[in-house]
Structure formats: C-alpha cells, structure tokens
Amino acid sequence: MTMQNRRDFIRNAMFAGAACSVANSLKANAPAGGCATGAPMLGFACKPIENVRVGVVGCGSRGLGMIGRVSKLPGVTVTAVCDINDAKIKKAQSSLARQKQPAPKAFMGPEAYKALCDSDIVDVVYNTTPWHMHVPVALAAMNNGKHVLTEVTSAFTVEQCWQMVETAEKRKVHCMQLENCIYGEVEMLTFNFVRQGVLGEVMHAEGAYNHDGRSMVNDLYPAYQYWRYDWYRDHAGNPYPTHGLVPLCLTMDVNRGDRMDYIVSIDSKNAAFAEFISHRIRKGNPRKGQTMKVGDVNTSLIRTVSGKTIMLQHTVSVPRPYTRLQTVQGTRGIITASLWSKPGDRRKEDWRMALEAKCGDHKAEQWMGEEAFAKIREKYKHPLWKTIGDFATKVGGHGGIDYIQDARWSYCLRMGLPLDTSVYDLATTSCLCELTEKSAGNRSRPMDVPDFMRGAWKTAPKMGLVDIDLKHFKV
C-alpha cells in the first residue's frame, strides 16, 4: 500500500465511529514517506544570508505591518510583494517608499504567489495570506527552495501538517510559523523562571485566546475578507490554538524531551454568534440567517507522554475584551497572567505569582506583593527582552512582540543559526485544529497527537535562552 493510499485509508477510518481510536494510533505513528526515522530538520541551519531578501505574500494588515517593521531590521530587504488586490500592493509599495526602501517587484492575482516563489529575487517567503492559502503558499515556497515564514494557523489538518514536514525535510529549507506570542515578555519571563528552576517541576499549564471577533460578519467587510467567518461557519473545535499553546510548549519542553500524547476537546453551544447574526446583520446580507458550527467556547485538555497537562481555551464570539491567558504551575509555585488590550494596540498585563521558599511552608497560599514581584521580574527578565525589549516596544506591533519575532528570525538567518521553532513545532500545534474538531464532535473522544518527529523528540535538546548580539544587529 502506498503512503498516500495508507493516509486515505486512515483518514476515512477516523470517521468510522468505533474504529476511531485505532485509526488515530496508526496515523499518529505513520512515518513520512521516503524519510528515515527521526527528524532531519532538528537543529537545521542554512548558510548565513548576508542580505535577506523577503517576498511578502498577502498585503493586508499583517503583511503591511511586517513591511512597516522591515526598515528597523538590519540586513533585510523586501524585494517582492504579492496580493490579489492592486490597492493593497500599492499601499505596500508606498510604505516602502516612505521608508526610502527600494521598490519591490509586484505580483498580482490569485496564483501570482507561484511566480513570486519561483523567482530568483527572494530568499524567504513571508506568508500573511488568509487561512486557506497558508499551506499552498508555504508548499510553493519550499518546493522552489525558499525558506517560508507562515502566519498562524499554519495548517488545518493532520495531512497538511505531514505535507509541511515532508516538504521541509525533502527541500532542506526552514518552515517556521509566525507565532509572535512566543516573544511576549510574560511568556519569556515564565520560560526563564522554569529554566532556572524557580517554579520547581512543572506539571500543568493553561493557555487561552479569547477575542470578540463577531464584527467579522457585519456589512463593513468586503466579500474577499470573510475567510475567517467562513471557517467558523463550517468547522467546530479550536481553529486558532497556537497563541495560547506554543509558548507553553517551549516552556514545557514539548518536542524537546517530551511530546503531546493525546487531546480531548469540548465545544459549548453557539449562542452569542447566533444572537449577533440575528440582531446585527441587515437583511440582504448573505450571512443573515446562517448558522455557525463553531462553539462559542472551546475547551481542550492535552496530556504529554511524561504526564504533564495543558488546558487550552478559545473563543471569538462572545462580548469580552481581547484576552490571552497563561498559567504555569510547578511544585514550588505558580505564575499566572492575563494579557489584554485597549484601543490603539496598547497591551496591558495583569501578572500574579506565588512561591514557596521551601516545600510545605504555605507561603504560596498568598500572591506575591507588587514590590517583591517587580524585583523577581527584573532579575529573571529574559535576555532577549533586556537586549531589544525597550526598542521593540517603541516600534510596536502587538506591544513589540512582532518586532522581536522578526528580529530573531532575521538575525538567525543572517548568522546561520537554527530558528527558534521548526516545522515540527508548526505541525504539532497546528494539527490540533482537526483533532479538536473531531474530539468535540464525538463526545470528547481522546485523539492521539501524531509524532511528527518519529521519536527524535526523546533526545532533542531543550530550548535555551536565546538572544541577539548587538555587534551584528544595529538598531
């Protein structure tokens, strides 16, 4: 049986009720076609690229934001831009002109990204397209020998995740998801706490992405911008797991000595979206009267092979402030943070921490005072935030985390270093879109998470405290 036929068989079997758990086990352990056992892209680094030439596919808000930051990045040039909308391409060109950057070559049309990926004027494809285009653009880039940085969610099915892994391995190119929350100050502070043993042994964590996105169905959006709404209409589960999850995976050594074993997921009923569509959508709008498959709140529980647990939550349809939640619990204490936003992209944080000085002294029964927390926050501030955090905050982009993300990947490419996350991290977290939907739709049946590293996670080194050497990075 060929690899593709085996995958077709497994995919069909996963829908077959009682056969679901068997099919999961087969799929989870399926090796990639033509690849040796292991993870060939583990620790992969390309030759140093002195001047990183970037082609931006998708010139909407995320693409334009990246273009606005590029002038602050040494050794990076946007050489090409692509979109289906001429006005957006012109905005991108104007943005670069204001920054006195060379004019990029324009590629316009539904399949123009293929020509951009095939061109010899880009080294890296920066993929900020709508969700359904993430995989096609990424595969086109890699198959043309280009490194690809792709927005989240980077893929939506287990099969797509295998395609991303296998293509990166075959072409020997980077494929990294643009998960900016990795670089948040609280996420990196928590990472450092765990690395330094401040929290003791970590056994549980919680993450969430909660955002009122109901406006995506109103009359102000052009038809071509309804791709998010279309997904929520047609799919349940958690389609956007990475913001709350990926930072926790790095902190908890997922794919670096541990891996996700299985996940269970449950959806609430859809009440808020239904009410909004009923009351706020005008007659004549094609979305009037439509029903949404996505639940208002999705809650998922993950267990790793070593026995750690993660609770993950997602909602985009209830009235509430934008909030990302992160909690990490260890044997010596806990840190929990609620990160929320105010108009104007001003990020606010509500952090709390409780620690025991020694086992059983009960000091963790009260939250640490503000003065004590301020001291420990400064002591354990992540090196990357010490180096460029203040500048990043001034540049902006979700409070500076977008700039730090772009600074790190560009620095690594210029220095010939491995990127902070790999295609295996992309696949491990993105595949949860399909798995949460299947679990939630089948009375929260446990779903095995595929081992995209084929066992190599057992000996993979933990992530260290990354930084940037300012001698090679002028800001």
In this structure, are residues 131 and 227 in contact, taking their beta carbons and an 8 Å threshold? yes
**Short-list 336, 318, 338, 319, CA closest to 327:** 336
In this structure, are residues 170 and 163 in contact, taking their beta carbons and an 8 Å threshold? no
Counting Cα atoms < 13 Å in the Cβ hemisphere of 114 gives 4
**Short-list 187, 101, 251, 194, CA closest to 398:** 187
Q: What gap in Å lies between CA 83 and CA 97, rounded to an integer? A: 18
Neighbour count for residue 161 (Cβ, 10 Å): 26
- Chain-wide mean pLDDT for the chain? 89
CATH 3.30.360.10 range(s) for the chain read 181-385+419-472
The runs of H, that is alpha helices, within 260-400 are: 272-280, 370-379, 383-395
Q: What gap in Å lies between CA 219 and CA 26, rounded to an integer? A: 45
- Tell me the per-residue pLDDT of 158-174, one tens digit each, with 9 for 90 and over: 999 999 999 999 999 99
pLDDT above 70 coverage of the chain, percent: 89
| Mean pLDDT along residues 89-94 | 97
Q: What gap in Å lies between CA 436 and CA 146, rounded to an integer? A: 31
pTM of the model: 0.91
**Short-list 33, 73, 11, 257, CA closest to 162:** 33
Q: Give CA 439 to chain center in angstroms.
A: 21
Which is higher by pLDDT, 7 or 223? 223
What pLDDT score was predicted for residue 398?
A: 86
Residue 76 backbone phi and psi in degrees, to 5: -130, 135
The topology under which CATH files domain 42-179 is Rossmann fold (3.40.50)
Euclidean distance between the first and final Cα of the chain, in Å?
55
Categorize the per-residue pLDDT at 475 as very low, low, confident or very high, splitting at 50, 70 and 90: low
Residue 218: pLDDT over 90? no
In this structure, are residues 435 and 452 in contact, taking their beta carbons and an 8 Å threshold? no
CATH 3.40.50.720 range(s) for the chain read 42-179
CATH architecture assignment, domain 181-385+419-472? 2-Layer Sandwich (3.30)
Residue position matching structure tokens 């739709």: 441
In this structure, are residues 31 and 37 in contact, taking their beta carbons and an 8 Å threshold? yes
What pLDDT score was predicted for residue 37?
A: 54
Q: Which residues fall within 8 angstroms of residue 32, CB to CB, at 6 or more apart?
A: 162, 165, 166, 169, 454
